[in-house]
Chain A
Amino acid sequence: MNQIKYGMVIDLRRCIGCHTCEVACKMENRVPLGVWPAWVKEIEKGFYPNVRKSFLPLLCDHCDNPSCVTVCPTKASFKRKDGIVIIDPHTCIGCRYCMMACPYAVRYVHPIQKIVQKCSFCSHRIDAGLKPACVDACATGARVFGNLLDPKAEVAILKNTHAVQTIKPEYGTHPNIYYIGLDKDAVSLTGKEKGKAS
Chain B
Amino acid sequence: MIDILYNVGHQEAAGALIAIYFYLTGISAGSFIVSTLAYVFGQTKFKPIGRIAVVLATVVLILAPMALLIHVGRPFRAWRLFYNINFTSPISWGSFLLTLYPINCIIYGYFIFKNNAKMTKLFGTIGIPLAVAVHGYCGFILGFAKARHLWNTALMPILFLVSAIVSGVALVIFVVYIKDRFFSQEGKVNEALIFGLAKLMGGFLLLDLFLVLSDVLILLAGSEDAIKAGWLLLTGKFAIPFLGIENGLGKVIPAILVFSTRLRTTNRVVLASFLVMFGILFMRLVVVLAGEFFPLI
Give residues in A with beta carbon < 8 Å to B.
Answer: 35-36, 39-47, 53, 56, 58, 67, 70-76, 91-97, 99-105, 108-109, 113-116, 167-168, 171, 185, 187, 189-194
Contact = CB atoms under 8 A, between A and B. Distances in A.
B77 A93 contact: yes
Contacts of A115: 73-74
Given A93-B73, A93-B74, A94-B72, A185 B2 contact: yes
Given A36-B8, A94-B74, A109-B11, A190 B297 contact: no
Interface string B160-198: 000000000000000000000000000000000000000
Nearest to A172: B146
A93 B71 CA distance: 10
Interface of B: 1-8, 10-11, 13-14, 68, 71-75, 77-78, 80-81, 83-86, 88-92, 94-95, 141-142, 144-148, 151, 225, 228, 292, 294-297
Given A44-B5, A191-B3, A91 B295 contact: no
Contacts of A35: 11
Given A71-B89, A99-B11, A53 B95 contact: no
Contacts of B84: 74-76, 91
Contact of B1 (A47, A113, A114): A47
Contacts of A67: 144-146
Nearest to B76: A93
Nearest to B83: A74
B295 A97 contact: no
B4 A96 contact: no
Contact of B74 (A72, A102, A114, A171): A114
A102 B10 CA distance: 11
A100 B2 contact: no
30 contacts: A35-B11, A39-B7, A42-B5, A42-B7, A43-B5, A44-B5, A58-B8, A71-B90, A72-B89, A73-B91, A73-B92, A76-B84, A93-B77, A94-B72, A94-B74, A95-B71, A96-B73, A100-B145, A100-B292, A102-B296, A103-B146, A104-B296, A104-B297, A108-B11, A113-B73, A116-B73, A171-B147, A189-B296, A190-B2, A193-B4
B114 to A, nearest CB: 37
B74 A96 contact: no
Nearest to A106: B297
B73 A58 contact: no
B9 to A, nearest CB: 9
Given A40-B6, A74-B86, A189 B73 contact: no
A105 B296 contact: yes
A100 B292 CA distance: 8
Name the residue in B7, B10, B85, B95 with the highest tally of chain A Cβ atoms < 10 Å from its Cβ.
B7
B147 A168 contact: yes
B86 to A, nearest CB: 5
Contacts of B75: 93
Contact of B295 (A92, A105, A109): A105
Nearest to A173: B146
A74 B4 contact: no
A41 B7 contact: yes
A67 B80 CA distance: 20
